[in-house]
Each structure stands twice: as structure tokens, then as C-alpha cells.
Amino acid sequence: MKNKVLLTAAVTGAGDTVKKNPNVPVTPKEIAESAIASAKAGASVAHVHARDPETGGISHNVEHYREIVDRIRESETDVIINITSGGGGDFIPSLQTPAAGGDGTDIQTPEQRHEPVGELLPEMCTLDCGSTNFGNMIYMSPTDWLREQAKLVQESGVKPELECFDTGHIRFAKQLIHEGLVDGDPMFQFCLGIPWGAEADAETMMYMKNRLPEDAHWSAFGIGRMQFPMAAQAAQLGGNIRVGLEDNIYLSKGVLASNEQLVDKAVQQLSAHDMEPMSPQEARDYFKLRNPHGGK
């Protein structure tokens, strides 16, 4: 697969971006259509969160995920589906009762976080490999919870993408591998520039890359204005890339983007370095992903 790159489109996320960019998809139909448009523009993978169609906020409703997945699978456009399993990790301490969550806290058990993945069996899912300060809240994934989640993902036959928001997350991801909770060649995703995790710069990317197991595949993304600099850096270092409205809502300074525009820009950036995205089927074969219709 020389000069081929896995290109992921993270099409919506769960952040407060809907009011900032009208192109951010909200309903299951909009999210599926945006994933399909991204695939037509060259994305190998659609990374999917569900949103509440009424509020635009995060949704854990399996039926919302089911509609998204069904619409993508029933379309004539092929794309690998990567469902988040990181929902329900937001903890905001209450000043009155610090041991309890305050307004905005949204915590799910490992089983609840895994439910859309276990029900719908996408080719891939994310697995956030630790807790971190995330803006003014704590994203909470205790280690024993992650072990339980990793086991559930493993039993489902879905390929986990080991998301690392800080350097210690790589250490714990390697521990999961050591304990036999990740099958095959591991896939890592460096999540760079999140306040207050790992920096979005070349030095941090190299540091993280150099601490991976020898058989690991990896990808990286930066948020906001660092989306395309980090994509270029990752591709040149032999990694894979991710773009999309989950991480950045602008095509250029002051110009609001759509997902397909961000994917198209990434494809052009790759082309300038004689590289191109993998097709979804090339990626399934190369990374040994499950068949989207069941089985391996």
C-alpha cells in the first residue's frame, strides 16, 4: 500500500458546533448523507457520532445510530463505518458536592458505551485510552472500565482505533495490547491540540509515533487551524489522516466548510505529495477489518 493513506472523515462529533456552522449534520439522515458525500470525495472511513435531532446535542440512542448505519450501508457508496464508543464520559464536578457530577455531566458505563458498536457491528470503533482534562471538564475513562470496554470490542470482532489524547494514553493502550485485549496489528489515533491534552505540533507527533509497538498502524489529527498541518505531517511520517467537522469547521480562515470540502482539500494535499486515499475495500483488506455484512 505504498503511497496509500487511510483517510477518515469525522463528520459531526458531539461538540457545540451546530450553531457555529450550518453544515454540521445533526439528524441521522443528515449525518449519513454527509458520510456518503465524504466517501464520494475520497474518504476511506466515516467516523460517526449520533446527535439528538431535536437539540443537536449528543445522543446515545442506539436507534439514531442504527438509522445512520443503515442509510450508509444501503447507499450505493462504499465507506468503512467507525462508530464512537467514547460517549458518556463527561464529568463536571459540582462545587456544592464535589464527589457528584454537576450540570452537564454525562457518564455511561462500559456496557452502555459499547451498545451501539455491539448492536450494529461496524468495521471499526474508537476506544479512548484514558481520562484527561477536556476544556473545563474531565473526560473520564478509568482503566478498569477501559479493560472491560476493550474486551467487549474484542468479542464483537470490531477493530478498535486506540485514541490517545495524551502521551500516557499510549502507555495504557500498550498495556491493553500486552494483556491480550487487542487483536491483530493495533491501530492508534493521535488526538492533538485538545485543551488540555497533547500539543498539535511535529515534536509531539514524533514523540508519540516513536513509542508505538513495531507492528502498529497510526493516524493523527489536529483540531481547528491545525487540522491540515497535522494531516500533512502525519502523511509525510508514514501515518494516516483524519479531517472533518468534528475537529474543525473552517475550510480556510473565515470560510465555513462542509465535510466533503474538507475531504477534497485533504485529497488534494495528499496528491501534492504523490499520495492518495485507500479505497474502503483496500483498507478492509489491508487492516483485516470485518466484512460490513457480518463475519471477518
pLDDT for 202-233, tens place per residue?
999 999 999 999 999 999 999 999 999 999 99
Question: DSSP 3-state assignment of 292?
Answer: coil
| Residue that wins the pLDDT comparison between 219 and 291 | 219
CA distance 196 to 223: 12
Q: Sort strands 124-128 and 80-83 into parallel, antiparallel or unpaired.
A: parallel
Give mean pLDDT, residues 63-79. Answer: 97
- Give the residue, 32 or 101, on which the prediction is more confident: 32
pLDDT band at 295 (very low <50, low <70, confident <90, very high): very low
Q: What is the pLDDT confidence band of residue 292, given thresholds at 50, 70 and 90? A: confident
Q: Whose CA is closest to 160, among 64, 109, 85?
A: 85
Which element (helix H / strand E) includes 260?
helix 259-271
CA distances (Å), 94 to each of 15, 91, 102, 108, 133, in order?
Answer: 21, 9, 4, 18, 16
Is the predicted pLDDT of residue 296 greater than 70, yes or no? no
Q: What is the pLDDT of residues 223-281, one digit of tens each?
A: 999 999 999 999 999 999 999 999 999 999 999 999 999 999 999 999 999 999 999 99
Residues 271, 290: Cα–Cα separation, whole Å? 29
Task: Give just the sign of the alpha carbon dihedral 203, 206, 207, 208.
Answer: positive
Here the cell at position 208 is: 508519540
Task: Give the separation between CA 123 and CA 163, rounded to whole angstroms.
Answer: 16
Is the pLDDT reported for residue 16 higher than 50? yes
Q: Which residues contact 119 (CB under 8 A, 6 or more apart)?
A: 62, 65, 66
- How many other CB atoms are found less than 10 A from the CB of residue 147? 16
Single-letter code of the amino acid located at 144? D
Contact yes or no for 244/25 (Cβ under 8 A): no
At residue 85, what are phi and psi to the nearest 5 degrees? -120, 20
Task: Read off the pLDDT of each residue in 79-99 and give the average, rounded to a whole number.
Answer: 93
**Residue 274 zone, left/alpha/beta (φ > 0; ψ -120 to 50; rest):** left
**For residue range 142-183, what is the model confidence (pLDDT) as tens digits?**
999 999 999 999 999 999 999 999 999 999 999 999 999 999
Share of the chain above pLDDT 70, in %: 99
Each residue of 109-155: pLDDT tens digit?
A: 999 999 999 999 999 999 999 999 998 899 999 999 999 999 999 99
